[in-house]
Amino acid sequence: MVLNKSMKQKKGKKGSAAQYLTRTQALRKLQLSLPEFRRLCILKGIHPREPRKKPKGANKTYYHVKDLAFLLHEPLLEVFRHIKAYQRKVNKAKAKQQLELAEKLCLRRPQYTLDKLVRERYPSFVDAVRDIDDPLCIVNLFSALPASKGYKIPVDSVHNSRKLSLEWQAYVVRAGCLKKVFVAVKGFYYQAEVCGQTVTWLVPHERSQVLPADVDYRVMVTFLEFYQTMLKFVFFKLYHDVNLKYPPALDADLESNAAGLNAVITEGEGAALDEEEGAGEVAEGEREGGLFDGMVFFLSRETPRESLTFVIRSLGGSVGWEGEGSKYGADHPSITHHVVDRPKLREEVSGREYVQPQWVYDSVNFGVALPVDLYGVGKKLPPHLSPFVDDEAEGYTPDYAKFVANLKSGEEQSIPSMKAQNLSKEEAEERQEQEDEARYRTELEAEVSGKDVKAVKAGSGAGASGERDEDDEEEMEGMVMTRKDRKLYEAIQKSKTTKRERAAKLTERRKKNKTRK
Amino acid sequence: MAGRRATKRKEASDAVEQDEVDVRAVERSPSISSATDESDSEDIELAIDSGSDGDDDRSEDTRQIVGAEEEDEDDVPKRRWAAVMDDDDGDDEEDSEEDDEGSEEVEFGSESEDEDEVVGSEEEDLASDSSEEEREHVNTIGEGIPLKWYEHERHIGYDVEGKRIQKQAGENKASTVDFFLDKQDGTLGSKSNKVWDEYNQRVVELTKEEMRAIRRIRKGMFPHLSVDPFPDLLPWATKDKLHEPMVDLPEPKARFLPSKWEAAKVVKLVRAMRKGWIKPPSELERERKEKEEEESKVYMLWSDDNKEASWKAANGLSYVPATKVKLPGHAGSYNPPKEYMEDENEDDKDMQISSKQSFDCLRKVPAYDRFVNEQFERCLDLYLCPRMRSRKGNRTAENLQRRMAEQKAKLPKPSELKPYPRKLAMEYEHDDGVCVNSVSVDPAGRWLATGSDDGIVRVFEVSTTRCLRKWILPASDKRERKVTSVSWCPAGKDVLLAVRGYQVFLLPAMASSAKGAEDTPGQLLISQSMGLLAGAEGSPMAKWSKATAKEGLGGGKHDGLCVDLGKKATQCSWHHKGDYFSTVCPSGNNMAVLVHQLSKCATQTPFNKSKGNKVVSCKFHPSKPILFVASENHVRAFHLVKQELVAKLISGSGSIISMAIHPQGDNIIVGTTASRVEWFDLDLSGKAYKVIRNHTNTVQDVDFHARYPLFASASDDGQVHVFHGMVYNDFETNPLIVPVKILKNAHAITGHLGAQSCCFHPQQPWIFTSGADGKVRLYIN
C-alpha cells in the first residue's frame, strides 16, 4: 500500500506542467517587474513557447523553464538591479535638492554592454546575418523619426541609427550585393544577398514621420538598443571581410549638407590593400560589372535622393545632385541620365536621357536597362511590379513582366514594333488558351460519356484506360493516408485551386480592362 | 548715502520737535511747499472745473480728492483750507526754485531746503490759524453729512447756540456764478489756482504745494515728496565690533576650537581624494569619455566562425528564428498593374495590402501613416508571440509527397494486383429510371437477378444482357411495392429470395412456362416445401403461404412461397447451404432478425431480446454456425449453437448501412452513413482495423469477392470503388488493403441516390453494380 502511494505520480512534476511556467509564475520566480522582464526578454531574445498541454489554461503565455533559468543566470540582471538601486539614490538626492550630488551620481551610473548577448544569441555569424532584417528595419525607421523627450526617444540613438543605416548602405554599395528594390506604398523594400543569406529591409519614404501616440516607444527603444549593438558587430565583420575599416569616417561637410551616403568614406584597412588600389579610390571605385557601369546620373531635387543614390551606386553608376557637395553639376557634360519627376521640363540638354525614378528601380529588378522612352518625363508610367513575386508559381504574369521577358529574350529588335508584336503575341497566347479550354471541354464531355464508348469498343481503349488508371491512382492515394496527412494534402490542393482561381480572376480583369480601352 | 539721509532726517525732526504744531505741519503736508508749473495748474483747473458746475456729486469727488490726505482728523481741513486761502500770494517768488517731478526722487539733497520752506509756510499758516475763529460762514454741518440734504433748506447747519445758520443764498449764488464767469472770462488768469469750495461756499486758492500734491496723487504717487517707499535697510547690527559688548557672556568654546566634525569630514575627503574616490571634474569627464569609447569599441565578435547556421540556442533549447515579414506582391506597389486595383470585395488578404492605392508618379507618394505602428506590432510579435518550430519532419508539402511516394513504393501498384474489374462491359436494361435496389448472381454465374422499385424481379443472362424472366410479385396489399433485396440460393438451385415490403418471396427463378419445359430444381424444391405447408403450424411471427407469381415475359404463372413477416423487411440473405435464410425487419425489436428454414417452412427467432438498436443487416458465417447482426453502431457475432455472443465490433463513424463477410469468415467490412468503409478483423480487436474514407456520401453496399482478394463499395456519390483486400492465412500478417480502381460515374445521382448495390461475379473478377438511375452494369477486368 505504502509502495503504491510512493509510486503514484504527483501532479506538476513531469511533462508540460514541470517544463513550462506562465508569465506570472516566471515574474515571481525571477523577482522582476513586468517592464524589467520585458526588457530582459527582448535583450536576451527569449520568447514564449507553445507547450503541448497547457497546464494553466489556454489563455496564458508559457515560458520554458530553461529559458527562465537562462534569464536567472544572466549577469545583466544584476546590473539592472544595481541601476535600479542607483536610480533610487539619484532620485533621493534630487528630492533633497542636492543637485550637485545627483549630477555626480548620474556620472557614475553602472554601465553595461550587450556584445556578450550578441555572441550568445548568435553563436555563428551566419545566424546574425539571417536575423538582420528586423534590426535594419527598426534602425531605418528610427533614423527617420524625430527624437522626442516625451516619448523617450533619445537623441543619440536617433543619430546612431542614422549612422548605422548609412554604414549598411555603404557596405551594400561596396559589396555590390543589392538584388531587388521595390517601391511600395509603405516604403522602399530592398533585398540584398549577404553571406548567402537574403536580407530584406524596409525604409520609409523620405517624408516627415508622425509619432503615433498609441505606440509604446519604450519597447521599440529597447529593441533598438540591442539592434544597434548587434548591427555594429555585424558591420564590423562585414567591413573586415571586404578589407575596410570600421567604423567608416563621415565627411563632415557632406554630412552637414545631408549628402547621406556620399558622406561615408570607406577606407581600406591595411597597407597591402593600398598597393592594389589607392585608399582614395576605394571610396570612389565601385565594383565592376554593375548594371549602371559608366553611367552618370543627375538627380533632380524632387526625386528621392537617398534611395536613388544608394541604388545607382550599388549598381556601379555615379550620382550628381542639385546642392552642395555634388561632384556633377546640372550641366556637366558627362551626365548620361537625368532623373526627373516633374510633369514638364523647361529645357532639355541634348546628349542625355531624361527618365523618371521608376526607370532605375525597374531596371534593377529586371536586370536590364529598360527602354528609356517608356519612362520619359511626364509620361504615364508602366506598372511597377513587385520583384518578390514568383509569377510562375502564382500562375499569373502581368503584361509588363511578359513584355520585359520578351525584350530580354531578344525576340524584338526595334521598340515601336515591339509593342505591336508583343500584343499580337499575347493574342496568340490567348488564342492558345482558348484552344486549350475547348480541348479540355471536349475531353470532359468524352469522359462523361466515355463509359459507353469504351463499352462498345472495349478493346480499342486499352491505352486510354491505362492513363485513366494513373489518374485514379492520385485519388486513391488519398484514401489510405492518415487523417493528418490527408488534411495537409487537402490544404495543398486547396491552396493550388485558390491560386488558380485568383489567376483566372486577374486574367479576366485584364481582359476587361483591355476591352474597355 | 542712507546714513546721511537718516541723520538729516533726524536733524530735521529735531528741529521740528521744538513746536508741536510744527511737527504736525511737517507730518501733515510736508511736501506742499513747491510751486506749480503753468501746465500743471491748467490740468488741475480742468479737473476742478467740472466740479464747480453745480453738479454736487462731482464736487464731492473733487473735495474728496483734495482732502484725501486729511481724513483722520476732522478739524484739520477747515484750518488747512483757511491757511490756503490766506497765503494766496507770495508763493510766486519761489517758482524758480522748483523743478518738475521727474527729478524729485533723485533730489534728496534738496529736501532740506524744501523742509525749510515748509517751516516757513507753516509759520504763515499759524498766523492764519488765529484768524480762523473770526470767520463767519464756516460750515458747521460736519464732514459726514452730505450737502445734498441741505439742498432745499434755507439754512445750513446750526451754530453753537443751536440756531440755524442761514444760507446766504443770494450772496453765495452770486459768488458761485461770479467765480464761474470769472473763470470763463479768464479774469482769474490762466495761472489761477483758485477753486470753488462748495462745502464752505467760497473760493479757495490752492498753494503750489497743494497743487503738487494733487498732481502726484493723480499720478499714483505718494503726495509728499519726501516719502520714500523703498528705503534702504538699516542694519541694526554691524560687523564692527562694539567697544562695549552688548551681552556680557564668555565666548563659547566652539568659537575658538576647531570643529571635530569638520576635521573628520576633511580627513574623509582627503582620504577619498588620495584613494581616487573623489576626482576633479576634468578627470571625471575624461574617464567618462574613456568609458564611452570602451563601450562603443567594436571588435571581431565572430573570429572563429564556423560558417554553419546553428539551430540551438545557448540554453540548449532549439532556436526558433522569427518568421520573416511577408513581402508585398504586385498589389502593394505604389503603381500597381491595373488589374490589381479593382477588387471590390477581395477576400484574399494579400490583395488588400496597402488598401489599393495607386500613384502615377513617385513624388506623389505620401508617408505611410501606419509605418511606426506596423514596426511596433512586429516588435510585439517578436517578444510576445509564442514561437514553435513547424514540424518540418512531418508537415511540409514536399515531405508529404516524399512519404506518399514511399508508401506507393511499399504498396503494390494496382497494375500488379490484376485482375480486378476495370472496364465497363455490359449494361442490363431496365425500364427507364426505375431504381434498382439489389442485384444477385446465381452461384454458377450465369444469371443475374435484380430487384427494383417497380416491384418486379428481373432475371438476366449475364453474358448476353438478355432479360429472361420478369417476375411480377403478387400484390397482396399495396403498402409497399419496392423490392429491396434479392438473393440467389447458394446451393445451386434456382430459388430466388426477394424482399418486398412486409413479405419475403421465394421464387422459382428460372421456371419456364414454355411447352415441354421441365420443372427446374427450384420449382421442385418449392413444391416439396409447399407440401409441408398444409400440415405445418403457422408460427406466430411469420405466416408461410403459397403465392403465385406472374412471369411477365413468358406469360405464365408459377407457384412460389410467401412469408409474411408482419413488419417491413429490408434485407435477406442465405445460409451457405441454401436451406436457411435470414430476414431483417429493422423495427421488429426482438423479432428483427428471423431465421427461416425452407425445407420445413419454419421460422424461428434466434434472440429473445432485441439485439442492438435498429438492426440493419444480418449475415451467416460462411462456414461456422455464427450469425452476424449489424445494428446501427455495432456488429455482433452470435454463435447459434452455443447461444452466445462471440464478438462485438464497434463502428467508429456514422451508422452502419451495409455489411459483408469475408469468404473465410474472419474479416468483415461495413459501409456507413459517414461515407466510410470500415474493415474489421475479428482476430485483432473490436475496433476497425482500417477505416477507408473514400466516398463522399453514404456507402450503400459493400461486397467481398468469393474467390479473388477483392472487395468493393457502392456509394450514393455514384461511384463504386474496388479494393484489393488480401487476407493472409498466417496469423502474423495483417490484411493488405490497396485501392485498385475507382469506377467513376458508375451511376448517375438521381434524387440523392447513386450506386445502390454491388455484387461480384462468383467466379470471374467482375462486378455488377446497380444504381438509382435504373442501370445495372457489369465491369470486367
Nearest to B369 by CA among A214, A40, A472, A56: A214
Q: What is the pLDDT of residues A457-469, one digit of tens each?
A: 333 333 444 445 5
The count of other CB atoms within 10 Å of the CB of residue B197 is: 20
Q: What string of H, E and C letters represents the secondary structure of A83-118?
A: HHHHHHHHHHHHHCCCHHHHHHHHHCCCCCCCHHHH
* Residue-level length of chain B: 781
Q: What is the pLDDT of residue A41?
A: 94
Which CA distances in Å does B594 have to A394, B481, B495, B571, B627?
63, 22, 19, 11, 11
Residue B716 has pLDDT above 70, yes or no: yes
How high is the pLDDT of residue A91? Answer: 95
Contact assignment for B305 to A124 by CB distance below 8 Å: yes
Q: What's B648-714 look like in SS3?
A: EEECCCCCEEEEEECCCCCEEEEEECCCCEEEEECCCCCCCCEEECCCCCCEEEEEECCCCCEEEEE
Residues 6+ apart with CB under 8 A from A168: A136, A139, A231, A235
Q: What percent of chain B has pLDDT over 90?
A: 16
> How many Cβ atoms are within 10 Å of A8's Cβ, its own excluded?
7
Q: Could you tell me which chain B residue has the CA closest to the CA of A398? A: B337
pLDDT at B311 over 90: no
Q: Does A137 touch chain B (CB under 8 A)?
A: yes
Q: What is the mean pLDDT of chain B?
A: 76
Residue of B nearest to A512 (CA): B339
Which of the four pLDDT bands, split at 50, 70 and 90, describes residue A502?
Answer: confident
CA distance between the termini of chain B = 138
Q: What is the dihedral of CA B189, B190, B194, B197, to 10 degrees?
A: 110
Overall average pLDDT of the B748-768 stretch = 89
State yes or no: pLDDT of B237 exceeds 90: no
Please name which of B214, B210, B212 lies closest in space to residue B84, comparing C-alpha atoms: B210
Residues of chain B with C-beta less than 8 angstroms from the C-beta of A122 = 302
Mean pLDDT of A250-271: 65
Measured between CB atoms, which of A185, A358, A383 is closest to B357?
A: A185
- Chain B CB within 8 Å of residue A510 CB: yes
Strand partners, B739: B723
- Which has more pLDDT, B667 or B93? B667
Query: What count of CB pairs under 8 Å joins A to B?
Result: 293
Distance to chain B for A62, nearest Cα, Å: 8
Measured distance CA(B372)–CA(B530) in Å, rounded: 95
- pLDDT tens per residue, range A406-423: 888 875 444 444 444 444
Interface residue A461 vs chain B (CB under 8 A): yes
Question: Are B423 and A461 in contact (CB < 8 Å)?
Answer: yes
pLDDT at B500: 87
Contact A304 B362 (CB under 8 A): yes
- Taking an 8 Å cut-off on Cβ atoms, the answer to whether A38 and B329 are in contact is no
- pLDDT tens digits along B460-505: 998 888 888 888 887 766 667 888 899 998 887 888 889 988 888 8
- A118-161: pLDDT as tens digits: 988 998 888 899 999 999 999 999 999 999 888 999 999 999 99
Nearest-CA distance from A349 to chain B in Å? 22
Q: Which residues of A touch B395 (CB under 8 A)?
A: 488
Question: How does A128-164 read in b/e, with b if 16+ C-beta sit within 10 Å?
Answer: bbbbbbbbbbbbbbbbbbeeeeebebeeebbebbbbb
- Name the residue among B309, B316, B340 with its Cβ closest to that of A127: B309
B329:A185 CB<8 A = no
Summarize the confidence of residues B361-390 as an average pLDDT: 90
DSSP string, B138-198: ---S-SSS-GGGGTT-SEEEE-TTSPEEEP-HHHHHHHHHHHHHHHHHTTT-TT--EEEET
Least CB-CB distance to B741: which of A187, A394, A472? A472
CATH superfamily of A288-409: BRCT domain (3.40.50.10190)
Quick check: A477 and B408 CB within 8 A?
Answer: yes
Contacts of B694 in chain A (CB under 8 A): 476, 479
Please tell me the distance in Å from A504's CA to the nearest CA on chain B: 11
A472 band by pLDDT with thresholds 50, 70 and 90: low
Which residue of A131, A212, A481 is in closest CB contact with B372? Answer: A212
- Which of A117, A178, A163 is closest to B313 using CA atoms? A117
- Kindly tell me if the per-residue pLDDT of A352 is higher than 50: yes
Rounded Cα distance between A416 and A422, Å, is 10
Return the amino acid letter for A149: K
**Which of A136, A480, A513 is best to mutate for the B interface (most B CBs within 10 A)?**
A480
Q: Which CATH code is given to the segment(s) A19-107? A: 1.10.1660
Mutation choice for B interface testing from A129, A245, A386, A508 by most B CBs within 10 A? A386
A247 to B425: CB separation less than 8 angstroms, yes or no: no
CATH class of the domain comprising B423-780: mainly beta
Smallest CA-to-CA distance from B379 within A49, A229, A41, A161 is with: A41
Q: Residue A133 and residue B325: Cβ atoms within 8 Å?
A: yes
Cα A403 to chain center, whole Å? Answer: 27
Interface test with A, best of B375, B692, B715, B766 (most A CBs within 10 A): B375
Where are the strands (E) in B393-494, listed by range? 423-428, 436-441, 447-452, 456-461, 467-472, 483-488
A142 → chain B, closest CA residue: B372
Confidence at residue A284, expressed as pLDDT on a 0 to 100 scale: 44
Cα–Cα–Cα angle for A205, A235, A83, rounded to 5 degrees? 90
User: Which DSSP string do the residues of A466-492 spell out, in sequence order?
Assistant: HHHHHHHHHHHHHHHS-HHHHHHHHHH
Of A212, A388, A400, which is closest to B328 when you measure between CB atoms?
Answer: A388
What pLDDT sits at residue B769?
Answer: 92
DSSP A353-405: EEE-HHHHHHHHHHTS---GGGG-TTPPPPP---TT--HHHHT---HHHHHHH
Rounded to whole angstroms, how far apart are CA atoms B626 and B628?
A: 7
pLDDT mean over A165-179: 91
Q: Which helix (H) or strand (E) holds A63?
A: strand A62-64
| Residue B425 cell numbers, joined | 462491359
Are the Cβ atoms of A115 and B427 closer than 8 angstroms? no
Q: How many CA atoms lie within 13 A of B236 on its CB side?
A: 1
Q: Quick one: three-class SS letters along A422-436?
A: HHHHHHHHHHHHHHH
10 Å Cβ neighbour count for A377?
Answer: 16
pLDDT tops 60 at residue A3: no
- DSSP codes, B397-414: HHHHHHHHHHHHHHSPPG
Q: In what order do the strands lie in the sheet with B755-760?
A: B423-428, B776-780, B767-771, B755-760
Say which residue, B430 or B348, is predicted with more confidence. Answer: B430
| CA distance linking residue B488 with residue B721, whole number of Å | 23
Question: Are A130 and A141 spatial neighbours (Cβ–Cβ below 8 Å)?
Answer: no
Q: Cβ contacts (< 8 Å) between A444 and chain B: which residues?
A: none
| CB–CB contact A184 B745 (8 Å) | no
Residue-wise pLDDT tens digits, B719-730: 899 999 888 888
What one-letter code names the amino acid at B354? S
Residue in B closest to A184 by C-alpha: B333
Residue B327 · residue A177 · CB < 8 Å:
no
Q: What percent of chain A has pLDDT over 90?
A: 40
What's the gap in Å between the CA of B219 and the closest CA on chain A? 45
CA distance readout (Å), A458 to A451, B653, B745: 9, 39, 17
- Contact map slice: A 88-117 vs B, CB within 8 A: 107, 111, 113, 115
Predicted pLDDT of residue B675: 87
Residues 6+ apart with CB under 8 A from A282: A244, A266, A267, A268, A273
H or E, element range at A318: strand A318-321
Amino acid B241: pLDDT = 77
> Ranked by mean pLDDT, which of A99-103, A213-217, B173-177, B285-289 comes out on top?
A213-217
Distance separating alpha carbons of residues B645 and B626, to the nearest angstrom: 9
Give B620→chain A minimum CA distance, Å: 29
- Nearest by CB: B306 against A124, A185, A204: A124
Domain ranges of chain B: 2-218, 423-780
* For testing contact with chain B, the best of A470, A479, A490 (most B CBs within 10 A): A479
Partners of residue A240 in chain B, C-beta under 8 Å:
300
CB atoms A220 and B379 under 8 Å: yes
Probe site for chain A from B288, B290, B359, B365 (most A CB atoms < 10 A): B365
B769: three-class secondary structure by DSSP: strand
Mean pLDDT of A204-226: 93
DSSP state of B743: E
**Cα radius of gyration rounded to whole Å, chain A:** 31
Q: Cell numbers for B577, please give them.
A: 447451404
Exposure on the CB side of residue B351, measured as CA atoms within 13 A: 19
B373·A212 Cβ contact <8 A? yes
DSSP label at residue B69: G
CA distances from B620 to B629, B660, B668 (A): 9, 10, 12
Task: Write the pLDDT tens digit of every residue in B25-54.
Answer: 334 444 444 433 444 444 444 434 433 344
Tell me what the mean pLDDT of segment A14-18 comes to: 87
B465 close to B426: Cβ distance less than 8 angstroms: yes
Q: For residue B511, give every residue at least 6 positions away whose Cβ sits within 8 Å of its Cβ, in sequence order, or none.
A: B469, B494, B519, B520, B522, B523, B551, B556, B558
| H/E stretch holding A202 | strand A197-204
Task: Find the helix or strand (DSSP H, E) in which B780 lies.
Answer: strand B776-780
- Out of A381, A388, A481, closest to residue B327 by CB: A388
What is the four-CA torsion angle of A11, A16, A20, A25, rounded to 10 degrees?
Answer: -30
pLDDT digits (tens, 9 = 90+) for B115-147: 444 434 444 444 344 344 444 556 677 777 888
The alpha carbon of B63 is separated from its chain's Cα centroid by a whole number of angstroms, namely 79
